[in-house]
Amino acid sequence: MAKPATRFVVKRLNWMEWHSGRMARRPGEVAVASFATFDEAEAERARREGEYRERANPFECGRAVRNWTHLDEPRLRDWLMDHGVDPPEPKKDGAADWSAWWKQNQKKLGAEKRAAVWEALDKVRFFTVREEPARPVGYAVVVVNWEYNDEFYDANTEQGEVIRVFRTRERAEAECADNNDIARDVWAEALGDAEIELDDEDEEFAMFDMRDRLRRRRGLLPGEKLKEGEGLFRTTANVPFYEVIEVSLEGLE
Partner 1 sequence: MTRKAAPKRAKKPAKPKPVSAYIVVREMVSVNRSYTEPDRVFLSRSAARKHAGELNRELRALLNPFDDGRGPGDLMSDGQEAFDALLKKLGLSAPKKSKGDGYLSSRDWAAWWDRTYYDVTETQRDAIWDALDEFKWYTVTKTTLE
- Give the dihedral sign, CA 198/202/207/210: positive
Instruction: Compare residues 64 and 190 and give the one whose CB is closer to partner 1.
Output: 64
Q: How many Å apart are CA 60 and CA 25, to the nearest integer?
A: 11
Q: Does 46 bind partner 1 (CB under 8 A)?
A: no
CB of 168 to partner 1, least distance (A): 9
Q: How far is the CB of 201 from partner 1 (least distance, A)?
A: 29
Q: E strand or H helix at 29, and its extent?
A: strand 23-35
Closer residue to partner 1 in complex, CB, 113/171: 171
Residue whose CB is less far from partner 1, 121 or 142: 142
Sign of CA dihedral 64, 70, 72, 78: negative
**With CB under 8 A as the contact rule, which of the stretches 79-87, 162-170, 187-195, 220-228 interacts with partner 1?**
162-170
**Given 17, 23, 58, 138, the residue binding partner 1 (CB under 8 A):** 138
Q: Which of residues 49-78 bind partner 1 (CB under 8 A)?
A: 63-66, 72
Spatial CA neighbour of 210 closest among 236, 185, 190: 236
Euclidean distance between CA atoms 102 and 97, whole angstroms: 9
Near partner 1 by CB under 8 A, which window of 106-114, 159-167, 196-204, 226-234? Answer: 159-167
Neighbours of 170 (CB within 10 A): 10
- The rounded Cα 56 to chain-centroid distance in angstroms is 13
162 binds partner 1 (CB under 8 A): yes
Structural contact between residues 77 and 84, judged by C-beta atoms closer than 8 angstroms: no
CB of 249 to partner 1, least distance (A): 5
**16 makes contact with partner 1 (CB under 8 A):** no
In terms of CB distance, is 17 or 114 closer to partner 1? 17
Residues 6+ apart with CB under 8 A from 226: 211, 214, 215, 220
Q: Which amino acid is at 100?
A: A
171 is a contact residue toward partner 1 (CB under 8 A): yes
Question: Using CA atoms, how far apart are residues 192 and 116, in angstroms rounded to an integer?
Answer: 57
Residue 114 or 216 having the CB closest to partner 1: 216
What residues make contact with partner 1 under the rule CB under 8 A? 24-30, 63-66, 72, 138, 140, 142, 145-148, 156, 158-162, 164-167, 171, 245, 247-252
